[in-house]
């Protein structure tokens, strides 16, 4: 179920979780291997090279999700990197998790 939610964030209109800010854009899936990998394009128009990689493990008893922010050179300064990571954390570890009741 987590894989499907990342592939299609709008699949459950009753519980939306990919709530974008005005300075963000809807990511597209640029790579996927069901049920273990999804790579999104950038959330940020000002940083089009950024990608978010989701690695999923587990099975029927639950899914473990790890995300990685990937950017090309030049790497953003520390403050920007923290802001980007915090935003992904909010979307995935708060909004998405909440839709699964955790």
pLDDT tens digits for 44-102? 999 999 999 999 998 677 889 999 999 999 999 999 999 999 999 999 999 999 988 75
SS3 59: strand
Distance between alpha carbon 26 and the CA centroid of its chain, in Å?
A: 10
pLDDT of residue 33: 97
For residue 47, give every residue at least 6 positions away whose Cβ sits within 8 Å of its Cβ, in sequence order, or none.
Answer: 71, 76, 84
Q: How far is CA 17 from CA 58, 80, 91, in A?
A: 22, 23, 7
Q: Output DSSP code: residue 73.
A: S
pLDDT of residue 102: 58
pLDDT of residue 61: 77
pLDDT of residue 71: 97
Summarised one tens digit per residue, pLDDT across range 10-39 is 998 888 999 999 999 999 999 999 999 999
């Amino acid at each position: 179920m987590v894989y499907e939610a990342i592939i299609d964030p709008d699949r459950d209109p009753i519980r939306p979780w990919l709530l974008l800010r005005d300075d963000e854009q809807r990511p597209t899936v640029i790579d996927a291997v069901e049920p273990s990998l999804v790579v999104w394009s950038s959330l940020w128009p000002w940083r089009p090279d950024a990608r978010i990689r989701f690695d999923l493990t587990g099975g029927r008893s639950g899914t473990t999700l790890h995300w990685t922010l990937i950017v090309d050179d030049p790497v953003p300064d520390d403050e920007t990197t923290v802001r980007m990571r915090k935003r992904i954390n909010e979307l995935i570890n708060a909004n998405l998790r909440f839709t699964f009741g955790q």
